[in-house]
Structure 1
Amino acid sequence: MRYLPCLAACLLLVSCGDKPAPPSKKVTSSVPLKDQPMPDVYKVLFDTSKGSFVVEVHKDWAPIGAARFWMLVNTGFFNDTRFFRVRPGFIAQFGLSGDPQTNSMLSATPVDDDPVKQKNMKGTISFAQGGKRSRRTQMFVNLKDNSDLDKDGFAPFGKVTLGLDVFEKLYSGYGEWEPPGRGPNATRILTEGNNYLDARFPRLDKILRAKVVR
C-alpha cells in the first residue's frame, strides 16, 4: 500500500484623552501559507463529492509524515484527486495526483520513516508504504481497528475528528485495485492520472479541495 491558516493578530490602540479607541484591526501575514512554520497540531478540511471531513494532525505522533502532509495540502496536491481504493470495513486510500508530472516528481522524493507511536485505530490516517523509506504521497484512513498494521510500520500521523461517516458513503463497487482485483491500477494512475481514472472508473469519489483550517 501505499502548509497553517493565515496568521492573524489583533492590534489594540491605546486611547488618548477622551477620544475613544478605534476598533481592533485584523492584521494578516503576507507570508505564503506553505512557507509558514508547521504547528505542533493542525487541522485540514477536505471537501469531497460525498461531504466534508476534518483531519487533525499531531506532529509528535509522526513528525516526518506530518510535515509531508503539510506540504501536500499547502501546495494543492489533493485538489481534484480520487479515492482510488475503498475497502469497506478496512481502509479508504487516496493520495495520487491527477497530474502525471506531479506524481513523477513526488515519487522521486520519498521521505524517511517515522516510528509507530500510535495504533492504527478507526479514524486514524497513515501513509502507505511498502518497506523502508518508501513513503511518498499515498495514505489511507482506517475504517476499523487495524492495529495489526502497527507491526508493519504504518505510522498514524493524525485522525479524522469530523465527518468519519463520509467514508461509509464512498463508492466501493470497483473492488480491490488491480492486481488482484478489478479496481484501478496504481501504476496507471501514476502515469496517466485523472484521464485514466475518469475514463475507466468514473464512479470513484473525488476530493474537491483540501485546506488547513483552525
Structure 2
Amino acid sequence: MDPLKSFSLLAKVAITTIIALFFLGGCKDKPKSTPTPVKTAPVQKDSVVAQIEEKKEEEEEPFKLNEENAIDFFFDYQKGLTENKVKITTSLGDFTVQLYDNVPYHKANFIYLTRKGYFDNTQFHRVVKDFIIQGGNSDDMETANKRKEIGRYLLPPDTRKGYKHHRGTISMPSSEINNPHMLASPYEFFIVVTKPGSYHLDGDYTPFGKVIQGMDVVDKINQQPVGKGDWPYQNIYIEKMEVLE
C-alpha cells in the first residue's frame, strides 16, 4: 500500500474518533444545581387596611332599636304587613287577638317582638280583678337579657283613631320612667276585662287590637289570687306567642 494513502487513512480515523469522543462528552447529564432558598420578610398590615377591617367589624354588630331609629324602623317594617292575628298560649289556656291595621307602629312592634320570641316565657305579672291583666314582664334575667339584645326604646301614643277601651281590648301601658308624654312601653301590654269597658283609659293609652277568641281564658287569668303589687301568687306564663299567617 502507498505510504501516503496509509497515512491519510490513519489521519481520517483519528479525526473521526476525536469528533465522536467530543460529542459523547457533551451529551452527558450535567449535575443539577440546588436553588438557594430566598428569605422573605414577614408581611405587615398597612395601618389603613387595619382601620378598614376594624370599621367593618364594627358595622357587623347586631342591630338594636333605640330612641333614634325605632320610628323609622317600624314605619318600614309595617309596609306590606298583612298579618294581623296573634295566638297567645298561656299556662292557663290560649286566646287570640286581632290587631288594628291603622295603628301601624304598635301593630308592627307587637308582631316584631312576637316573631323575635320576646314574649315566650314571660308572665302576666299584673292582675287587677275585674279591671285588667298585664303581660310581657317576668322576674328572671332571661327577659332582661332579651330586652337588652333588642334595644331600649319607647313608642308615641296613637289615641286618635277612635278606639276605646272596651272589654277585650288589648292596649299598651306607658313607661313610668321620665315620661311626661305618656310614651308607650313596647315590651308590655294589657287586656281590659271590665264590663262593658274601662273608658277612663281612653286618650292616655293606645288600644291596638282586641281579643277575638278565648276571652274565657282572659277572665280565668283575671280571677287568680294576687299578692303585693298585683303580682299573681302562682306565676302565669306566656308559654308561646305566634303570628297567624
Q: TM (normalized to structure 2)?
A: 0.58
* 1:106, distance to aligned residue in structure 2 (A): 5.1
Question: Pick from 128, 142, 146: which aligns with 2:192?
Answer: 142
* 1:136, distance to aligned residue in structure 2 (A): 2.2
RMSD: 2.4
Q: How does 1:126-165 map to 2 (within 5 A)?
A: 126-130=171-175, 131=179, 132=181, 133-144=183-194, 145-151=197-203, 153-165=204-216
Question: Pick from 78, 81, 89: which aligns with 2:122?
Answer: 81
* 1:114, distance to aligned residue in structure 2 (A): 1.5
1:206 aligned partner: 237
* 1:40, distance to aligned residue in structure 2 (A): 4.8
Question: Is the CA contact 2:78–2:105 (under 8 Å) kept in the aligned structure 1?
Answer: no
SS of corresponding position for 1:113: coil
2:154 aligned partner: 110
Question: Pick from 154, 161, 164: which aligns with 1:119?
Answer: 164
Which structure is higher in helix share? 2
Question: Is the CA contact 1:88–1:168 (under 8 Å) kept in the aligned structure 2?
Answer: no
Which structure is higher in strand share? 1
* 1:124, distance to aligned residue in structure 2 (A): 0.6
Q: How many residues align?
A: 157
Output one character per residue of 1:53-74: Cα deviation in whole Å (capped at 9) or x when no partner.
00101121x2111111011111
SS of corresponding position for 2:240: strand
Question: Is the CA contact 1:123–1:160 (under 8 Å) kept in the aligned structure 2?
Answer: yes
Q: Aligned partners of 1:120, 1:176: CA distance in 2, in Å?
A: 26
Q: Aligned partners of 1:176, 1:160: CA distance in 2, in Å?
A: 28
The residue type equivalent to 1:129 in the other structure is: S
Question: Is the CA contact 1:47–1:210 (under 8 Å) kept in the aligned structure 2?
Answer: yes
Question: Is the CA contact 1:112–1:135 (under 8 Å) kept in the aligned structure 2?
Answer: no
Unaligned regions of 5+ residues in structure 2, if any? 1-76
Question: Is the CA contact 1:96–1:103 (under 8 Å) kept in the aligned structure 2?
Answer: no
Unaligned regions of 5+ residues in structure 1, if any? 1-34, 185-200
Q: Aligned partners of 1:113, 1:106: CA distance in 2, in Å?
A: 21
Higher Rg of the two aligned structures: 2
